[in-house]
């Protein structure tokens, strides 16, 4: 079975968040988007549902955590090269994201990270298995 993942994230400003994620090179599936949500297509199997906070509350129990104040989740995307890691992080910073942790170089792993405008943390990681 080829599973898909739908990451649901609360956002304060849907238009700003859409601009941020499309600035990273991702597209929007308009079929699953409206004035309260946007379906960001990361890949054929990864989708990020951006939901305005009132809509996000329809799907949860309890309160929405403030990702600027505490870690709610750590999201990690794979990259095909070190250059792709650097390009994606640079695009994030150019479109309103903030740096999160310094570059990680550990054995075959090369990664970097950023926060989106709502404080959700994204890591981008390249694993060079030939560099053992």
Going residue by residue through the chain (132 aa), what tens digit of pLDDT does each one get? Answer: 889 999 999 999 999 999 999 999 999 999 999 999 999 999 999 999 999 999 999 999 999 999 999 988 999 999 999 999 999 999 999 999 999 999 999 999 999 999 999 999 999 999 987 765
Question: What three-state secondary structure class fits 58?
Answer: coil
- Beta-carbon-side half-sphere exposure of residue 9 (alpha carbons within 13 Å): 29
**Whole-Å CA distances, 88 to 2, 70, 92, 129:** 25, 24, 6, 21
Res 2: pLDDT: 85
**Whole-Å CA distances, 124 to 4, 70, 75, 76:** 19, 20, 9, 6
Res 19: pLDDT: 98
pTM of the model: 0.91
Res 129: pLDDT: 78
Round to whole Å and give the CA distance between 6 and 114: 20
Quickly count: other Cβ atoms within 10 Å of residue 89's Cβ.
Answer: 23
């Amino acid at each position: 079975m080829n599973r898909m993942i739908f990451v649901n994230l609360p956002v304060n400003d849907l238009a700003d968040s859409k601009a941020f994620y499309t600035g990273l090179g991702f597209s929007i599936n308009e079929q699953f988007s409206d004035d309260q949500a946007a379906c960001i297509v990361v890949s054929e199997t990864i989708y990020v549902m951006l939901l305005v906070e009132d809509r996000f509350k329809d799907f949860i129990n309890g309160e929405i955590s403030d990702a600027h104040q505490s870690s709610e989740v750590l999201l990690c995307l794979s990259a095909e090269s070190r250059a792709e890691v650097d390009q994606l992080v640079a695009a994030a910073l150019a479109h309103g994201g903030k740096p999160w942790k310094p570059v990680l170089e550990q054995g075959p792993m090369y990664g970097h990270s950023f926060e989106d405008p709502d404080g959700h943390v994204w890591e981008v990681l390249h694993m060079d298995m030939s560099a053992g």
